[in-house]
Chains A and B, each alone.
Chain A
Amino acid sequence: NAGVTQTPKFRVLKTGQSMTLLCAQDMNHEYMYWYRQDPGMGLRLIHYSVGEGTTAKGEVPDGYNVSRLKKQNFLLGLESAAPSQTSVYFCASSDRSRGYTFGSGTRLTVV
């Protein structure tokens, strides 16, 4: 049982470049989330989705876009990367308040 899979695991971008982070879950969960983790700040919600074709903004959505075209996938896009987006990104999925299942994270560095 793979759970939540994130790709890539590591990436280095130059300022202004774009990229997409992919999250895939095989648990048929309705809800999916993207968080970023920064030292001393815990995890902050970027965007989330309550079902296929729906997305919503979280606490820190600026500079990011998301799409959920298929129930099992949740994509996070950076259109023009900035150094402030250097972080570890976590995807999670949930079956209605029963606790999250997290992916192993993507470490992104923007230089």
Chain B
Amino acid sequence: AQSVTQPDIHITVSEGASLELRCNYSYGATPYLFWYVQSPGQGLQLLLKYFSGDTLVQGIKGFEAEFKRSQSSFNLRKPSVHWSDAAEYFCAVGVTGTASKLTFGTGTRLQVTL
């Protein structure tokens, strides 16, 4: 079965600094990969997704992620963080033929200091 690891539980960055959130997955073939963001008390919002093709994926709110097959990683990046980016971020993996079920990582909470 597939699995997702987000090794960083909590990250703090200064506003304007760059950001990279790590995500590693375990699956034998090429998975579908997603990043979601959750603001306090809210549901999860899709930031970006990778199915195939270009390994650098652009998403909403200025985020991007790069799929690296050799490292089984799908790290999320943003060149300049805004205070409004403070939230919890979840990486998820899905595989074909499984009714689109997603397996989520445990999340990374991002704090932004002014």
Interface residues on A, range: 20 to 34
Contact with A along B17-55 (1 / 0, CB 8 A): 000000000000000101010000111111001010000
Chain B residues whose CB sits within 8 angstroms of the CB of A96 once the complex forms: 100
Chain B residues whose CB sits within 8 angstroms of the CB of A103 once the complex forms: 43
Are A100 and B102 touching (Cβ within 8 A)? yes
Q: How far is the CB of B108 from chain A (nearest CB, A)?
A: 10
Are A40 and B44 touching (Cβ within 8 A)? no
Contact of B90 with A by CB under 8 A: yes
Tell me how many residues of B have a C-beta within 8 Å of chain A: 24
The interface residues of chain A, by DSSP majority, are classed as strand
Are A99 and B49 touching (Cβ within 8 A)? yes
Contact with B along A31-58 (1 / 0, CB 8 A): 1010100001111110010100000101
Are B100 and A31 touching (Cβ within 8 A)? yes
Which of the residues B44, B103, B107 comes within 8 Å of A90, measured between beta carbons?
A: B44
Chain A residues whose CB sits within 8 angstroms of the CB of B96 once the complex forms: 97
Chain A residues whose CB sits within 8 angstroms of the CB of B99 once the complex forms: 31, 48, 50, 56
Are B101 and A43 touching (Cβ within 8 A)? no
Show 6 residue pairs from A and B whose CB-CB distance is below 8 angstroms, ordered by the A residue.
Answer: A50-B99, A56-B99, A92-B44, A97-B100, A100-B34, A102-B44
Interface of B toward A, CB cutoff 8 Å = 9, 32, 34, 36, 41-46, 49, 51, 90, 94, 96, 99-107
